[in-house]
Structure 1
């Protein structure tokens, strides 16, 4: 019997945890697998081990583990696979398959455009976009976000799309704000490339408010668990099950 194990990042912020659970519940409603469980990599319960064991106890003979993460980084490449390998050794009779994170996908571009449109501000030829990623020591994170920035630039025709990061990768947020361009009268749409609310969103908001307003910085909403992301998650499942 097949089970799908949805692995979210986790957060100390209660609202962020609740958002993740609500989103995964919607994914489960569309799932054809007889067993579905969600868990968190860190900072929240249930843990990967707890959810994995729940799958086994419900009769799973095959577990599809899906990282509900925006980009491919250390969590997706190392942390989650290591924990799954440990659990697989404890339950050698269980077949285990590991899916891909959301990654670079055209539907993410549509979500970014929607976040811009929600501000009510017009995106014109002089506008710029600043994509703010979480950041990682893994170079693939920077490469992937840069690829997403290029796709957004091509689809919207916006003059410049700059990426920056909140931790572990350069340029940082303040540097990104400085690099965005020389035209001081342009609008800059700042889009937090984050799945959930919390400490990082508060930090972005604070930095923008305290930054000298050389541009018109317009803070967009974070990505959130958008229906487009739900659709991509379903694609990631089908990559394994089809």
Structure 2
């Protein structure tokens, strides 16, 4: 029997967990697979192994492990595959298929523009944007953000820069300083995050401490937008058609 196990990040912020659960419940309603469960990488239960065990108890013999992550970095490349390897040893008769994160996609760019429009007043144009990512030491992350920057600029934003909250440079404070050097109007800060958790609170504190904070406009995080349901369905269909990991350990 086929199963899908969604792997969310997990958070100390209860609202963040509630948001992802609501989003995934809406996804489950639109995906015709008999067994669908949610698990978490950290801080929240069930763990991935617990979720897999639950799927097997319900009769699953093929499990799509679908990460609910924006981009591919350490969790996607190292942590989740390592747990799948353990699961293969525990459940040798179960076939595991490893899905892909959301990745860089035009529908996420659409959501970013929606977040910008929410903050616009009157007929003002958005000229300067600072995209803020979580950050990672993996080289794929700056490559992905370079692509995101290019896609935003192709849609008419003149100045787009990128910074990170951790593990990559420039950090947010540096990004704000650099972006403010050529600023003539407002700087729109776009968090490339799924929900408004601890990192968003950190952003607000850093922005509030800036001398030019009146010209800094913090947009909402990407959030669990309806367009992401469509993208997640696409990723699951892709997952069904190929494996990123061998079917046997």
TM-score category (smaller protein): over 0.9
CA distance in 1, matches of 2:144, 2:38: 26
Per the alignment, in what secondary structure is the counterpart of residue 31 of structure 2? coil
C-alpha contact (below 8 Å) 1:3/1:33 kept by paired residues? yes
SS at match of 1:167: coil
- What is the DSSP-based 3-state SS (H/G/I as helix, E as strand, rest coil) of the residue aligned with 1:179? helix
1:230 is matched with 229
1:129 touches 1:191 (CA, 8 Å); kept in 2?
yes
Matching of residues 83-98 of structure 1 within 5 Å? 83-98=83-98
Q: Which runs of 5+ in 1 are unaligned?
A: none
CA distance in 2, matches of 1:100, 1:123: 38
* Equivalent pair of 2:153/2:159 in contact (CA under 8 Å): yes
State whether residues 196 and 220 of structure 2, in contact with CA within 8 Å, keep that contact through their aligned partners in structure 1: no
Partner in structure 1 of residue 157 of structure 2: 158
* Separation (CA, whole Å) in 1 of partners of 2:183 and 2:112: 23
Counting only pairs closer than 5 Å after superposition, residues 133-144 of structure 1 correspond to structure 2 as 133-144=133-144
1:177 equivalent in structure 2: 176
Q: Deviations over 1:192-240 (max 9, x none)?
A: 1111122111110111111120871111001111111111111100112
Q: 1:32 to 1:123 in 2, by over 3 A?
A: farther
CA contact (8 A) 1:149 1:163 kept: yes
Contact conserved, 1:5 with 1:39, CA < 8 A, in 2?
yes
Residue 100 of structure 1: aligned partner: 100
51-60 or 116-125, which moves further after superposition? 116-125
Cα offset, 1:123, TM superposition: 5.3
Distance in 2 separating the partners of 1:217 and 1:96: 46
1:6 aligned counterpart, secondary structure: strand
- TM-score normalised by L of structure 2: 0.93
What is the count of residue pairs matched by the alignment? 240
Question: What does 1:1-242 correspond to in 2, within 5 Å?
Answer: 1-121=1-121, 122=123, 124=125, 127-155=127-155, 157-180=156-179, 182-213=181-212, 216-241=215-240
| TM-score, scaled relative to structure 1 | 0.95
The answer to whether the 8 A contact 1:190-1:219 is kept is: yes
Residue by residue, what CA displacement relative to the aligned partner does 1:22-72 show, whole Å, maximum 9, x if unpaired?
111111111111100011000111110111011101111100011100011
SS in 1 for 2:66: strand
Partners of 1:183 and 1:90 lie apart in 2 by 57
Distance (Å, rounded) in 2 between the aligned partners of 1:163 and 1:4: 34
**CA RMSD, aligned part only?**
1.4
Q: C-alpha separation between the residues in 2 aligned to 1:71 and 1:229?
A: 13
In 2, Cα distance between equivalents of 1:184 and 1:65: 44
The equivalent of 2:244 in structure 1 is none
